[in-house]
């Protein structure tokens, strides 16, 4: 019943079989989880497209604003779109090649040397092992690597938009994007995976039990024997999917109408009360 231009999103939790929710007055683009056992901290961090960051944790609820992010800032570079925890630190990326890291003094820009007002430039995802090994990907096949000192742009083998990046402990990297593009390798050495006829867009890539999984346009797939093959969920119907996340022996697939959990053998739907 809200007006169509209302900035709004709803954050849901599912803990010990119980659903919870919190309403937020901005448009959420991404979220991540941060824990610090040394200080008994556990918290969700939710990113809004104009640089709003909502913390919901066992320490309480509070809001931060990334200075310079979003369309509300002076001389804006554009919206931001992804937040991720990497080695205990929080990072954000977005349009105009915006990149930020949360420090003790707030959110600091990491990309002053590569920022651009070009509307056809920007990042969709970021991942890494630590602050000395970061990858970010985005528009027109752009791939950037940060070695702890500066960003370096790679010679990308594609001009398709790249939507997801996953860094492995051995330094290897998986990247997915539009037009069925899946890349594997490291900075300066990328190999394109056989698409096996898939030319739709991939939005997320995740490693589960050593196998890369892909989420696309209502399609789950995986990379097996060097080529992309579809995943049969065993549910007897098409499923919606958009984001993948592996944690504690479970691969999660989250889509517009479906939440699925896979233990390596069986895909089990989790029924949301609003979609029952």
pTM greater than the 0.75 cutoff: yes
Residue 110 region by backbone torsions, left for phi larger than 0, else alpha for psi between -120 and 50, else beta: alpha
> Across 95-237, where does the E strand assignment appear?
98-103, 106-109, 123-130, 133-138, 143-146, 151-153, 162-167, 173-177, 182-186, 189-192, 202-208, 211-216, 220-224, 227-230
For 136-152, write each residue's pLDDT tens digit: 999 999 999 999 999 99
pLDDT given at position 192: 96
CB of 221 closer than 8 Å to CB of 193: no
Q: Is position 193 within any domain?
A: yes
Q: Which of 208, 248, 228, 215 is nearest to 125 (CA)?
A: 215
Low-confidence ranges of the chain (pLDDT < 50): none
Q: Is position 253 within any domain?
A: yes
Contacts 24+ apart (CB under 8 A), 252-255: 253/215, 253/220, 255/215, 255/218
CB of 238 closer than 8 Å to CB of 250: no
Spatial distance between the Cα atoms of 36 and 42, rounded to a whole number of angstroms: 7
State which residues form the domain around 118: 9-275
For the chain, give the number of residues. Answer: 276
Q: How far apart are the first and last CA of the chain?
A: 20
Cβ count within 10 A of residue 272: 13
What CATH number did the domain enclosing 232 receive? Answer: 2.130.10.10
Q: Which of 226, 30, 241 is nearest to 125 (CA)?
A: 30
pLDDT given at position 276: 64
pLDDT given at position 68: 93
215 Cβ contact partners less than 8 Å away, ≥ 6 residues apart? 202, 203, 204, 205, 241, 242, 243, 244, 253, 255
Q: Is position 4 within any domain?
A: no
Upper half-sphere CA count for residue 146 (Cβ side, 13 Å): 23
Give me the sheet containing 98-103, strands edge to edge: 80-86, 89-94, 98-103, 106-109
CB of 207 closer than 8 Å to CB of 166: yes
Q: Give me 272's structure tokens.
A: 């949301």
Q: Is position 1 within any domain?
A: no
Count of structural domains, the chain: 1
pLDDT given at position 4: 81
CB of 24 closer than 8 Å to CB of 9: yes
Spatial distance between the Cα atoms of 189 and 120, rounded to a whole number of angstroms: 25
Q: Is position 2 within any domain?
A: no
């Amino acid at each position: 019943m809200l007006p169509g231009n209302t900035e709004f999103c709803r954050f849901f939790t599912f803990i010990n079989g119980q659903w919870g929710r919190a309403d937020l007055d901005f448009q959420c683009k991404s979220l991540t989880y941060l824990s610090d056992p040394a200080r008994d901290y556990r918290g969700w961090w939710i990113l809004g497209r104009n640089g709003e960051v909502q913390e919901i944790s066992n320490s309480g609820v509070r809001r931060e604003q990334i200075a310079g992010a979003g369309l509300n800032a002076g001389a804006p570079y554009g919206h931001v779109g992804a937040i991720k925890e990497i080695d205990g630190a929080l990072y954000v990326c977005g349009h105009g090649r915006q990149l930020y890291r949360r420090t003790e003094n707030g959110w600091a820009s990491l990309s002053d040397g590569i920022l651009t007002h070009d509307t056809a430039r920007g990042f969709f995802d970021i991942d890494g092992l630590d602050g000395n090994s970061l990858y970010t990907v985005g528009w027109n096949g752009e791939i950037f690597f940060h070695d702890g000192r500066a960003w370096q742009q790679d010679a990308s083998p594609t001009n398709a938009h790249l939507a997801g990046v996953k860094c492995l402990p051995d330094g290897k990297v998986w990247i997915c994007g539009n037009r069925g593009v899946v890349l594997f390798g490291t900075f300066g050495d990328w190999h394109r995976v056989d698409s096996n006829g898939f030319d739709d867009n991939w939005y997320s890539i995740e490693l589960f039990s050593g196998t890369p999984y892909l989420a696309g346009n209502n399609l789950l797939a995986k990379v097996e024997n060097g080529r992309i093959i579809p995943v049969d969920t065993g549910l007897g119907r098409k499923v919606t999917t958009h984001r993948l996340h592996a944690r504690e022996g479970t691969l999660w697939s989250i889509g517009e109408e479906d939440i699925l959990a896979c233990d390596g053998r069986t895909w089990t739907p989790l029924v949301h009360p609003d979609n029952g």
